Structure formats: structure tokens, C-alpha cells
Structure 1
């Protein structure tokens, strides 16, 4: 562990919740005090997932399963939106609700997908570009990982207590046990994938294509769920569309990492493409869910992230030329 690694981890610690909640517009900037719980939860989770992948030398499959485990944990045990039929008065589960499972597939696929993509992948990719290294290495040693784990635990407990103090809903013991079992199985499965050597291809993954595709596919994912639920589509049709979109994204990364040589520029472009999705969609969420539309503060946050992404891209380009 070195100063650069600590700086990178500290940056991700704050960037993850800023992207996941504030850039999305779920939480306005005036409620920045919520970072006390959100940073340890989102940031701690993002750091541990990134470090687990880098320490073990694994790739995208491991990351996806670990990020999914985090998403199930947060939405099943902390915010409980997977089971709460009246979360924040929004009735998120009314569309496609399955009584036997206690949840709704359209919402479950949507919310788990956005955690994988925007709570974890985008801030991790952006931070790695800001602290670009020729060979991605772990940022933290044993002590750093222990501290991060304790911060994550604090964030989960604080977030869970806050939710329970403001919402009378309580998940059943069966639901809680089911979530814990699923999280454990996902973590075990994540490390069943073998370590993979970089693809030896003479052609690099096209950064512009990857970034543009991430922006379009990410936008489609958000729009499909909103359109399906508001327009009264049959919920299986929305679920099918969501799965197709997720499949397209998985196919894109399979092609870009298996058939081409994946590099830092492509990773930055993918993260930036995803970031720009929240940059525009956050205005929709701000308008729909907050009566006092926080336009200018939110625009300042969007501008901050766009400038940060530009700086990260310039850093990747500069350091890539230096080491070429």
C-alpha cells in the first residue's frame, strides 16, 4: 500500500456514492450529510470489489458477480426495496409483483442492474483512469482492506437503521435468510472463475465504439423500465426487454475483452459513456421525485463529473503515451 493507492481508494470512497445517488438525482445535494452513511456503504463496497478482483487477478465475470452480490445485499437488507411494496410511497413492486417471491421482476432486474453498472463499474472505471497505471495493481494492503471492511459494515448498519427508523416495513425472516444465502452463493461463484491472462490481440478494443455503446445501452435500460411501467406494458415484456439490454451489454464486453485487446482508454471510455447516462437521466429523476427541483446545484454536479471525466481521459492518454 502506498500514498497513490490510498489516494485512489479515498477518491473512489467518495465518488461511488456521488455517482450512485447524487448524480442520479435520488438524493439532492442539500442532503450531502447522508454521505456519512452512503460513503462507507457505496465506497467501501466499491473498493473491496475492485481490490478483490485486482488481488486475485480475475476479470469481468468476477466483478459482475461481486457487484451483483453487493446490489442484492443493499436492496434486500438495507433499503429493502426488493420486498417493500410501499418504499417511499412509490409502490415500486406494484408492476409485475409475484406474491410467492415477495418481489417484482421488472424492478428487481432494473435496480440490480443499475447498481452493477453505476454504483460500482462507473466510479471504479473513472477512478482507475484518474490514477492510471500501466498494469492495474491493488491499492490497499491487509490493513487497508480491514479498515475498508469495517467502514462497509458501518455503512450497511447505519443505512439499515436509518431505513427502519423512517419506514414501518420489515422483511420476513425467510426474506432475510434468502438474501444472505444468495449473497454468499454469488461471492463463492465469483471466485470460481479462473485467473485470465490479457487477450493477445493485435487490435485494441475501439474506445469510441465502447463508450458510445455504453451510453446508448445504458440509456435504453433506464428508459425501458420507466416506459414499460408507466405505459402499462405487460410486465413479462418489460422483463424480456431488460434482459435483452443486459445481454447486449454483456455481449459488448465479451467482444471487447475476448476478441480485442482491452486497454485503459477503452475502460475510461466505457466509464464515461455510463457516466453521461446518469448526467442526463438525473434531471428526469430530480424533476419527478423532488418538488423543489434542484436544477443549478445538480447542474454543477454534472459539470464537475464531466470535467473529472475529461481530466481522467487526458491522464490516461498522457500516461499511455509516456509508457508506450
Structure 2
């Protein structure tokens, strides 16, 4: 008789949850290059919002028996929540002492009260890298990735910490910038967040038919992910001078739709599995590795210190990807033996 499929022990599940809480801000802020290595202790301040937000999304989807479509839409809702009602970057023209109004002036949409390009950056950064990439990386170390890691008390505690951490950061942002968005802007953002959350659990009920084509090689999946992410973040270097910023906005829509369609098709092919999901994640992680170096001169620390942080965080990301690859391969061998 075949042995039962391996399960993740309770202690291991708790460690996975804690790893996700810490990894989300490390990827979202430090690997990106928004925070220097000298500010590493601040990860404990960011983790309640970033990390607990990612963990709530992962646990909510898994507890409901949902998968990646649900987590992607919940991550988009988180992106709007963080940069909207929490820190108000979407509307504050001088957020973080940076002239955001000037930087994104060419794609400003008056009825939104924000810039289309800024909105796209927020959705790309947080949906993909701040939430989905950390979840996928940590799930690579779980024997049963579809199972929740927390019980109800742990889930409730995570929610409480997320609310407290988000409120703390919202108050701090207001104190530092003395900016408060309009009631209409808050209401519009909240409405969009509610729609995304509702859509997240509605789309999880859909059962699309399989695609009767062989799954692509994992290296090809990773290459596409890296190329797509790099093309988006390198748009200022790739587009010729004089091209309207709205061209970049339109290309983002095409790129996002194309990658989403491709991943939806690939995920329904025979043979698609953990190695392909990890390859997608690796392509996204490697994009942030090189992107972080481009932000070194923008940090409020000496250039050498900023580069040192880029090297440390980039090397740590590569080590983590290597460990995840080994883990996924071992799980594949163990699953084949059980089967």
C-alpha cells in the first residue's frame, strides 16, 4: 500500500508563517533598494503591515480552498490599501519628501486624483513582489502548500497585528507629511478594495478546462517572468526619447494582460507543478535583484553603503532561491516514490 502524502508539522507551519511575515518586507523594500542595509532593524516596524498582510492573504485563500487567482486579486487589494488609505502615496504629491506630483505629472488623471503610471507601479510592486513572490518562495518549503499554516487564534492574532501595524504607519505618515486625502479619494479606494476582495473569492469558484498542450520547460517559464518584469522596470531605458508616457501606460496593460493570460494557460497544462511556480518566482526575484542596484544613488546613505546592501540582499535572495530549488526537487522525488 502506498505511503500517505507528506504533511507539514505544526511547528514547521508556524516557522513558515513567521518566515513569510519577515520575507515580505525584505523583498518589498530591501531587495528593491528602497531601504538601505543600515535600516535593517526597521523591518520589525514594516513586518506587521507587509508581512501580516501577505500572511492574511495566503491564509485567507488557503482556508477558503482557493489558489493563485484569489491571492493575486487579494494582493492587488492590499496594494491599493497600503498606498491608498494607509500611507496615501497615491494622492500625496510630496510623499516621502519626493516630488511625486512632478514625477508622475504626465499621466495624472484628475477624476482619480492620482497618476495612471503611479497606480500601475503600485499594483505591480505590491501585487507581484511584496505579496505573491514571498508567498511562493515560502510555500516552496511546505510539504502541503494548499493547507493553512495557522489555526483560528493565530489567524485572528495576525489580523490584529496587521490592523495595529497599518494604523501605526498611517499615523506616522500623517505626522511626517501633514497630508490628508479627500473623503472622495478614501471612499473610491475603499470601494475598489472591496470589489477586488469580492472578485478574489468569486474567481476562485471558476474551474477552467485543462489546456491539452505539454507544459513548458521551467527554464522557459523563468525566462519569460524575468524578461517581462525587466521590460516593465526598464521602460525608461527601452522607450525612445520623446515617446508619450501614455505609451508606457498602455504597454503595461498589454504586458500585464499577456503575462496573466500566459500563466493561466500554462497552469492548466499537464505536467505544470512546483518547479514551474518556482521558476516564475525566480524570474521575478532576479528582476528585483538588478533593479535594487539602480536605486543605490537614491538612498540617504553613502553610495558604497547602498551598494553593499544591494550585494547582501541580492546574494541572500540567490541563496534562498537555491534552497527552494533543492527543496522542490526533493519533494518531487519523494512524491514520485510515494506514487
TM-score (norm 2): 0.89
Matched residue count: 322
Q: Matched residue of 2:89: which SS?
A: coil
Per-residue deviation at 1:248? 2.1
Structure 1 residue 8 corresponds to structure 2 residue 16:
yes
Q: 1:56 aligns with which of 45, 64, 85?
A: 64
Describe how 1:63-142 pairs up with structure 2 within 5 A. Answer: 63-88=71-96, 89-91=98-100, 92-129=103-140, 131-134=141-144, 136-142=146-152
Please say if residues 139 and 145 of structure 2, whose CA atoms lie closer than 8 Å, have aligned partners that are also in contact.
Answer: no
Question: Deviations for 1:8-28, whole angstroms, at most 9, x for unmatched residues?
Answer: 000000000000000000111
In the alignment, structure 1 segments of 5+ residues that lack a partner are: none
Distance 2:177 2:237 in 1: 24
Per-residue deviation at 1:197? 8.6
Describe how 1:181-220 pairs up with structure 2 within 5 A. Answer: 181-193=191-203, 194=205, 196=207, 199=210, 203-220=214-231
Q: Matched residue of 1:321: which SS?
A: helix
Please say if residues 49 and 166 of structure 2, whose CA atoms lie closer than 8 Å, have aligned partners that are also in contact.
Answer: yes
What is aligned with 1:320? 332
Q: Matched residue of 2:157: which SS?
A: helix
Please say if residues 211 and 272 of structure 1, whose CA atoms lie closer than 8 Å, have aligned partners that are also in contact.
Answer: yes
Q: 1:281 aligns with which of 291, 301, 305?
A: 291
Distance 2:237 2:108 in 1: 16
Per-residue deviation at 1:35? 1.8
Distance 1:198 1:122 in 2: 26
Structure 1 residue 239 corresponds to structure 2 residue 263:
no
Q: 1:177 aligns with which of 182, 187, 195?
A: 187
Structure 1 residue 31 corresponds to structure 2 residue 39:
yes
Distance 2:260 2:213 in 1: 22
Structure 2 CA distance for partners of 1:24 and 1:68, relative to 1, 3 Å: same
Question: Deviations for 1:127-149, whole angstroms, at most 9, x for unmatched residues?
Answer: 111x2325631111111110111
Question: Deviations for 1:234-290, whole angstroms, at most 9, x for unmatched residues?
Answer: 232111011111112202211211234431111111111111100110010122344
In the alignment, structure 2 segments of 5+ residues that lack a partner are: 1-8
Query: RMSD in angstroms over aligned alpha carbons?
Result: 2.2
What is aligned with 2:323? 311
TM-score (norm 1): 0.92
Q: Matched residue of 1:121: which SS?
A: helix
Q: Which has the larger radius of gyration?
A: 2
Structure 2 CA distance for partners of 1:17 and 1:231, relative to 1, 3 Å: farther
Structure 1 residue 159 corresponds to structure 2 residue 169:
yes
Q: Matched residue of 1:81: which SS?
A: coil
Per-residue deviation at 1:39? 0.5
Structure 1 residue 143 corresponds to structure 2 residue 124:
no
Distance 2:67 2:144 in 1: 16
Structure 2 CA distance for partners of 1:198 and 1:51, relative to 1, 3 Å: farther
